[in-house]
Structure 1
Amino acid sequence: MGYGLSVSLVHPLLSYMARNGYRLDLFREAASFDMKLLQEAEARMREEEFDRLLEEASAFTQDPLLGLHLGQTIELSSLGILGYVLLHCKTIGDALAAYRRYNVILCSGIDIEWETVGQETIIRFNVSDPSRQASRHAVEGMVSSFYHIVLALSCRNIAPIRLHFTHGAPEDGEAYVRLFGIAPVFGRESNLLSVEREMLQVPILFSKGEMFSAFEAYAEEARARLLQGEAFADQVYRWIVRSMPAAFPGVQEAALHFKVSVRTLQANLKREDATYNRLFNKARMEFAVHYLKNPRFTVAEIAYLLQFSEPSAFQSAFKRWTGLPPGRYREMRL
């Protein structure tokens, strides 16, 4: 499943807009964004919601390359504990490994992986959920910020060999050349940035081993705490239960509530070996058991309370769930 992203990533976006003279109160209204969310240090948001915010910011600023420009303003301090871990790695290769392991603390929507082929190290930026079409601003922002941070860590100019994006080409391609030194190729099968393999051995000048150990321990704790959090399937199930019995929400309503597409919701559940129908029926069964414990409800009344088309449909479903007809189940429990 995805773990969303830290709301701390919204701060660089708002700072970038404020520095460029845009009124945040007007943007907040235009984007329908609740600024109170930023007051919760541990709060996280769905990748789709952050993508929407980037699209809104691009429209508000009339900057079609917002992600690219935003990425160049990201500093190590913007990354929180991840930034401090990177700063105290021994080499760029070590920083790359740390980035891959601990980036989930900030964002689980885009992962990185790399391989060395001949004299070239190829770094790929993969959208974690293949069924989700990530915003070009999110992808370009991550690639741009990654490159900017590598330059800062190495204190040298590292020229890319190749730069590929999966999305289409914009009208202005010169901005990429000014930033990366090369023209990217658009419409490719993966987002990637490649450099000379020697880059992995470049030392990070200001690293301190004792500081790395301290910050890595903190990052490891934060990562473990996040990965042990509530599963997405559990969140969906709790929401279904809260909705019942006043409403019996379908998968479309669930997708709307969790701000994802139906396809993404189903993919997230599938990764946890769950389906919406199974969660829905589990909640229905829990309510059925609850009602059967109350003798004032007849089996027929329970069937209609649970929105079955007729009592026989409820009886068949309940027997499938528990192995017993509802009447027999009631006799054994009362």
Structure 2
Amino acid sequence: MPSVSRSSDLQGVAELIRSYGQDPDALARKIGLDPLALYETGINIPSSLVINLYEEAARACKDRFFALKLAQIQGWDILGPIWLMIRSAETVRAALQAIADHLELHSEGISAYLVEEDQRTAFCYEVRKQARGSEALDHSEIQVIELGLAMSCYELQAILGNDWRPRFTQFRHAAPYNTEPLQQVFGEHISFNQDRNAIHLSARDSSYPLANSRPAYRQILQREIRARLGDSIPSALKADRTIRLLLDESRCSIDKVAAILGVSARTLQLRLKEEGKTYQQLYDRARLEIAIQYLENSNLPITAIAERLQFSHTGAFSRFFKQQMGCPPRSLLKGRRSPSP
């Protein structure tokens, strides 16, 4: 089953596309999206179409930084009921944790997680792309990644002050021809070709108290969000999120994933089986999707990509990739995109 997102993710997209003199309905149809999703907020649509629309809009509008402009229009309120959980958080870190814990309930194609290191908090942002076959190579994920992190920066500026910027920012993709638009949003400390997409907050920023943090108020909102959201996130999505976290940090195993999720490895296997998944499927899919991101959008050599994805050697990575995609990884290196105008 393809991952699903809410059409509220497209809030403001049609108006922004029109401001460039382009037809948003025509762009939607071009990628196979019903234009109604541009104007109605309660429609479930494949996550891949949301990602593809952002990329297609950037191309049609000839603006590499289309997503940064969209981030000025959108906000965390597009998350619907999850927005209530964010508002009820006691601190900035708790608000980010609420997003990480519940984001898949809004969009199965996006995952977030927090990493604590060196007295700072990293808010990491991931894309799931159903990477199978040539259609997985049709569009990159740069726009949706920059949108999610830029939108988060603008929301944090509303809390921490207009002059606030992350301690530093990481992107998996290569640097664009001009980094100034990114620096205006994220500050001067931006690194590319990294092992994650993330903004980093100081301990002081992450512990900053939020308004409306009274315990009684939080309890009321948390009861409301649980009632609205209904079922919890499937075990497969939780395991997938954890695998992506561990791929950044250390050797990934089902025992480590299960421990982080607070269950035994056997219990996790049984839950995944009930959902028609296996741990190995999730592990392979995560490595494949991240490999495609590196190959298409970064400047990393294959040897570095293989090492980051925990393959024993480059040959093992090449065999894995060809088995999954039907082509060697070097074919994507040759087809790396040139920067958009």
**1:319 maps to which residue?**
none
Q: How many angstroms apart in 2 are the aligned matches of 1:161 and 1:208?
A: 29
Q: State the 1:88 CA deviation.
A: 2.8
Contact 1:105 1:222 survives alignment (8 Å): no
2:177 maps to a residue whose letter is E
Distance 1:84 1:14, change over 3 A: farther
Cα deviation, 1:184-212, whole Å, max 9, x if unaligned, reads 21111211211211222101135454443
Distance 1:52 1:126, change over 3 A: closer
1:200 maps to a residue whose letter is S
The alignment's TM-score, normalised by the length of structure 2, stands at: 0.59
Structure 1 residue matching 2:210: 3-state secondary structure: coil
Q: How many angstroms apart in 1 are the aligned matches of 2:126 and 2:204?
A: 23
Contact 1:176 1:183 survives alignment (8 Å): no
**1:158 maps to which residue?**
164
Q: How many angstroms apart in 2 are the aligned matches of 1:76 and 1:120?
A: 22
Cα deviation, 1:110-150, whole Å, max 9, x if unaligned, reads 22222222322222223346957751111111111111112
How many residues in Structure 1 have an aligned counterpart in Structure 2?
A: 239
Q: How many angstroms apart in 2 are the aligned matches of 1:175 and 1:39?
A: 28
Identity among equivalent positions (%) equals 17
Q: State the 1:156 CA deviation.
A: 5.8
1:102 maps to a residue whose letter is H
Q: Note if 1:194 corresponds to 2:209.
A: no
Cα deviation, 1:150-203, whole Å, max 9, x if unaligned, reads 222344643322211111221111111111112421111211211211222101
**2:110 maps to which residue?**
110
Q: How many angstroms apart in 2 are the aligned matches of 1:32 and 1:269?
A: 28
Q: How many angstroms apart in 2 are the aligned matches of 1:90 and 1:218?
A: 17
Q: How many angstroms apart in 2 are the aligned matches of 1:110 and 1:129?
A: 9
Structure 2 residue matching 1:190: 3-state secondary structure: coil
Q: Note if 1:224 corresponds to 2:224.
A: no
Q: State the 1:30 CA deviation.
A: 4.8
2:164 maps to a residue whose letter is I
Structure 2 unpaired stretches of 5+: 238-274, 282-341
Q: How many angstroms apart in 2 are the aligned matches of 1:87 and 1:142?
A: 18
Q: How many angstroms apart in 1 are the aligned matches of 2:50 and 2:97?
A: 25
Contact 2:168 2:187 survives alignment (8 Å): no
The alignment's TM-score, normalised by the length of structure 1, stands at: 0.61
**1:147 maps to which residue?**
153
Distance 1:110 1:31, change over 3 A: closer
Distance 1:221 1:38, change over 3 A: farther
Q: How many angstroms apart in 1 are the aligned matches of 2:157 and 2:116?
A: 19
Distance 1:222 1:39, change over 3 A: farther
Structure 1 residue matching 2:125: 3-state secondary structure: strand
Cα deviation, 1:241-295, whole Å, max 9, x if unaligned, reads xxxxxxxxxxxxxxxxxxxxxxxxxxx9644899xxxxxxxxxxxxxxxxxxxxx
Distance 1:215 1:21, change over 3 A: farther
Q: How many angstroms apart in 1 are the aligned matches of 2:53 and 2:79?
A: 19
Larger radius of gyration: 1
**1:184 maps to which residue?**
190
2:61 maps to a residue whose letter is T
Alignment of 1:275-286 (within 5 A): none
Structure 1 unpaired stretches of 5+: 232-267, 275-334
Q: State the 1:109 CA deviation.
A: 2.0
Contact 1:5 1:109 survives alignment (8 Å): yes
Cα deviation, 1:69-120, whole Å, max 9, x if unaligned, reads 2223222433322223212322101111211122123222222222222322
Q: CA RMSD in A?
A: 3.5
**1:75 maps to which residue?**
75
Q: How many angstroms apart in 1 are the aligned matches of 2:33 and 2:86?
A: 31
Distance 1:62 1:115, change over 3 A: same
Distance 1:145 1:40, change over 3 A: closer
1:186 maps to a residue whose letter is F
**1:215 maps to which residue?**
221
Q: How many angstroms apart in 1 are the aligned matches of 2:21 and 2:218?
A: 38
Contact 1:111 1:125 survives alignment (8 Å): yes
**2:141 maps to which residue?**
135
**1:48 maps to which residue?**
48
1:153 maps to a residue whose letter is I
Contact 1:3 1:104 survives alignment (8 Å): no
Structure 2 residue matching 1:193: 3-state secondary structure: strand
Structure 1 residue matching 2:181: 3-state secondary structure: helix
Larger mean Cα displacement after TM superposition, 116-125 or 134-143: 116-125
Distance 1:213 1:198, change over 3 A: same
Contact 2:119 2:203 survives alignment (8 Å): yes
